[in-house]
Structure 1
Amino acid sequence: MSQMFGSTRRESVKRMRLGLLLVTSALVMGTACGSTDDSADAGSAEAPSSAFPDNPATGTPVRIGVINPEGGPAISMPDNRRAAEAAAEYANAHLGGIGGHPIELEICAAKEDPASNQDCANQMVEKGVAAVVVPSSGHGAAMVPIITGAGIPYMTPSGTTPAELTSPSAYALNSGFPGSLAAMANYAAEQGYQKVAAFVIDTGAVIASTQALGDSTFGAAGVELKIAPVTPGTPDATPQVSAGLADGVDVVAVIGDATMCTSVLRSMMTLGADQAKMIIQPCLDPSVIDAVGDSLDGATAFLGADIDSDEPEAVLYRSVMERYAPDADINGFTFTGYQAMLGLIRAAENLEGEPTAATIDDAIKSAVDVPMPAADGITFTCDGTAMPGMPAVCANQGIIAIVEGGKATDPKVGQ
């Protein structure tokens, strides 16, 4: 597996086009909601005391904005916000905040529509925040021009719009779904698979964009890609799965929300299908594992974070959440709030002078090989060179893991 993110992937990434962002945007909207099952059975290790030094922040606060999807008719992700709050509390108590100053959060709940997100962006400018963290959103285009236009840095774990991935002072910590798709293609090639059936959630332009860009990922890797659309909310995808598995498919990729993952995987069980599986993070939601049992064991997961292992970053994530947000569910996309907030804090560690929008922005641009929160072994550098054509992306690495007992095990990192 050590070569799975090798030169083939780098060449595929170079050929990616921004049209793939349509896929990413729709997937964010489709995969945002997950189970709220208790997550106490994650890894049992606890972070050492050295991870919690006695270094409280003092002095005048630095205001950091958080725009999070909450209270909307379709999407509400309060645990993302709780994770961002937990990371800020952790930094205030143990990391000296930002530049020695305590972090004071300005929270805006967006309903995940352009008007609401734009209003939140305007509020951040009016309140004079020094940076804005956005754990997850499909409406970056409505926020980035306002926020960065005011000279305020904008940080998100994975951008979903061209504005987030190309604008000065916008920072996307990782390559998100575009990177995962390229990694899947090259992993399939390295395993000798010749044909992949991708069960993809049929939302917005996802299907058309995935098909149009197939040559940039699977085609470039010499693997045939067969796309099988699945309508959101489909309770029984057996007809779609049966059609997708025809013609000698070697491996399946499941790309959608937790509900779609459950539907496709249960249909495979019904059909007695035993093809290898490639999945993304929502398929590890507790609701999916409860529904499909051990049928996911052996699947290959392409992830934006490692929250289950006993690696130091995963352990720190769980420990911080247990200490500062004990009632939050740490599964699903909760890590995005923690990853974005702590990523900002770590990137700004060596800022010069008082923590203002300008000095924080300069610190992010100049920070090199910053450890990615909740992703052991990955570092990020936001100097515009990580991903050709996407200067706001700070890292092109990803995590690949094998599913065992409903958890991502043996995580590997590469580029």
Structure 2
Amino acid sequence: MRSRTGRVVAAAIAAACIFSVVSCSDDDSSSGDSSAVEESGTKATGDPVKIGLFNPSKGPATQGGVTTGKDAAVNYINNSLGGLNGRPIEVVDCGIDQTAPESTIACANQFVQAGVVAALDGYNSESQSAVPILTSAGIPLVGQIPFNTATGAKAENRVYFGPPPAAFLVGFMQSLKAAGKTSLTLANADLPQAHQVFDGLLAPLGKQLGIEVKSVYYPPTGPNFTALATTLAEGNPDAAGLMTAPNDNTCTKLSQSLRSVGYRGTMFMAACTEFIDTMGAQAVGAETYSPGWQPPAIDSTPEPAKANLQLAEKYIDDAGGVGGFYAYGTFSIFVDFVNGLNQAKVADFTGANVLNGLKGLTDFQSFLGPKLTCGKASTPNCTTQMLLFEVTGDKTTKPVGDGFITPNPAVLQLIPGAA
């Protein structure tokens, strides 16, 4: 068994906004009243329901965990959970290259031809390229985090079970502010989407908070990690690392390089987990973010998420392949999709019915995250809550603030689609 690893903000942000991890935490939402998802042992039967998946399995920015999570989720949903209203799901898995929008367009057209009832967004930074095609065909786009900020800026024909990208940024900056840290340098792949986030969101937010923010870009085909780490460590910023991560391998190599060049500040490794296993005690003090609970924090995970996390781990281990954040996140997307539609009692699977069913979810306990209320007119996201984890020991993490962080609503209101 594998080890456990798992568009622009207004320049002026109201000075009255107070950033505090403790005051913005919401422990109640992480516990809930729902019991854990259980294995019914019921196999789905009948005609399959077709679902598309934009899978970033091609090009330089691949996310191998998406395939692992998909395979594990289909096994669980069809062979134990009982499927969608008793019917199995069939995934039209279309590989995309996140550096080539035309591949996303080709997959969207493939989904239309295949007659899928929904298209799942596997953390595709080029998802906006598919939106016009899917909307015209009445196929909703469903995911966890809209990695493309244009996709996340509107609520039309899409639902995301996790928070908007801005929530992770605001939540992390709140944590830095609360800890008295005043300097931050973050790296990202040299792609248009990264420049939008850094220049339009990170810089003005840092200025407002009194945090010196710097950005570093590396070629998406693969950085020189020692050179990148050296640049990140210049001036010894309080925190340094990645704002987003293409895969766990990038996190592992960069974190190792940061330590090797002598950086001892807070390493921020975005949504990664496997570097924690690889580095062991050397990773202590590093921080990561997530929309839901992850295996390194199993000892801190409340029910029902703890039992669900153990269930997901079983199926992900059985699936083999790449684990980590993207595997557990993709597993969660599929299970929340199925459980949400079953709770909404959708039986006639058309794109319109799927969209209406998901947008109608209220106080719905997600698989590994908080309770969700979807269908807001201003945002495709069902929550703004996120988790920030700190590595506290050998291969273990603990949530900062002891639970879900709710980023300051006044700040999110200034970001299109974030609230």
TM-score relative to the length of structure 1: 0.76
Pairs within 5 Å for 1:393-412:
393-403=381-391, 404-410=393-399, 412=403
* Displacement over 6 Å in runs of 4+: none
Q: Residue type of the partner of 1:384?
A: K
Q: Output the CA distance in 2 between the equivalents of 1:116 and 1:208.
A: 21
Task: Tell me if structure 1 keeps the 8 A contact 2:206–2:212.
Answer: yes
- How many matched pairs? 361
Task: Tell me if structure 1 keeps the 8 A contact 2:287–2:390.
Answer: yes
Quote how far apart the aligned CAs of 1:66 are.
Answer: 1.8
1:285 aligns to 2:282 (yes or no): no
Q: Which residue of 2 aligns with 1:36?
A: none
- RMSD between aligned residues: 3.1
Q: Which one of the candidate residues 74, 80, 84 is aligned to 1:88?
A: 74
Unaligned runs of 5+ in 1: 10-47
Q: Which residue of 2 aligns with 1:38?
A: none
Change (3 A) 1:268 1:124: closer
1:240 aligns to 2:231 (yes or no): yes
1:134 aligns to 2:121 (yes or no): yes
Q: Residue type of the partner of 2:320?
A: D
Task: Tell me if structure 2 keeps the 8 A contact 1:226–1:244.
Answer: no
Task: Tell me if structure 1 keeps the 8 A contact 2:71–2:319.
Answer: no
Change (3 A) 1:5 1:175: farther
Q: Output the CA distance in 2 between the equivalents of 1:78 and 1:277.
A: 23
Question: 1 or 2 for the larger relative contact order (CA 8 Å, sep ≥6)?
Answer: 2
Quote how far apart the aligned CAs of 1:338 are.
Answer: 1.0
| SS of equivalent residue, structure 1 residue 158 | coil
Change (3 A) 1:273 1:59: closer
1:383 aligns to 2:375 (yes or no): yes
Change (3 A) 1:135 1:315: farther
Change (3 A) 1:301 1:210: same
1:225 aligns to 2:212 (yes or no): yes
TM-score relative to the length of structure 2: 0.75
Q: Output the CA distance in 1 between the equivalents of 2:339 and 2:176.
A: 35
Q: Which one of the candidate residues 293, 308, 319 is aligned to 1:316?
A: 308
| SS of equivalent residue, structure 2 residue 403 | strand
Q: Residue type of the partner of 1:108?
A: C
* Identical-residue share of aligned pairs (%): 18
Q: Residue type of the partner of 2:323?
A: I
Pairs within 5 Å for 1:87-106:
87-106=73-92
Q: Residues 63-94 of structure 1: CA distance to partner in whole angstroms, max 9, x if unpaired?
A: 22222122x23244454133123223322233
Q: Residue type of the partner of 1:285?
A: E
Pairs within 5 Å for 1:61-80:
61-70=48-57, 72-80=58-66
Unaligned runs of 5+ in 2: 1-18, 27-34, 407-419
Q: Output the CA distance in 2 between the equivalents of 1:326 and 1:209.
A: 34
Change (3 A) 1:5 1:154: farther
Q: Which residue of 2 aligns with 1:340?
A: 333
| SS of equivalent residue, structure 2 residue 213 | strand
Q: Output the CA distance in 2 between the equivalents of 1:241 and 1:158.
A: 26
| SS of equivalent residue, structure 2 residue 151 | helix
Q: Output the CA distance in 2 between the equivalents of 1:272 and 1:82.
A: 35
Farther-moved stretch of structure 1 (347-356 vs 362-371) = 347-356
Q: Which one of the candidate residues 184, 203, 211 is aligned to 2:172?
A: 184
Q: Residue type of the partner of 1:269?
A: R
Quote how far apart the aligned CAs of 1:159 are.
Answer: 0.9
Q: Residues 325-384 of structure 1: CA distance to partner in whole angstroms, max 9, x if unpaired?
A: 431332142223212211211221223442222221111011112223333xx1222212
Change (3 A) 1:219 1:314: farther
Change (3 A) 1:174 1:244: farther
Change (3 A) 1:315 1:409: farther
Q: Residues 90-139 of structure 1: CA distance to partner in whole angstroms, max 9, x if unpaired?
A: 22233331123222222222234222221111111112111111222122
1:166 aligns to 2:154 (yes or no): yes
Q: Which residue of 1 aligns with 2:243?
A: 255
